[in-house]
Homo-oligomer: A and B are copies of this chain.
Amino acid sequence: MRIAVLHGSTREEGNTEALTEIVLDGLERTDIYLRGKRIKPIHDQRHEEGGFDPVDDDYDGIVQEVLAHDILVFTTPVYWYGPSGILKNFIDRWSQSLRDTRYNFKEAMAKKEAYVIVVGGDNPRIKALPLIQMLKYTFDFVGMPLEGYVIGKASRPGDIKGDSRAIAEAQWLNRELKKKAGC
A interface residues, Cβ below 8 angstroms from B: 9-11, 14, 35, 41-45, 47, 77, 79-86, 88-89, 91-92, 94-95, 122, 125-127, 129-138, 141, 146, 148-149, 156-157, 164-165, 168-169, 171-173, 175-176
Contacts and interface: CB of A to CB of B under 8 A. Distances in A.
A83 B79 CA distance: 13
Contacts of A164: 172, 175-176
Contacts of A9: 44
Contacts of A82: 82-83, 88, 91, 134
Contact of A84 (B92, B172, B175): B92
A14 B44 contact: yes
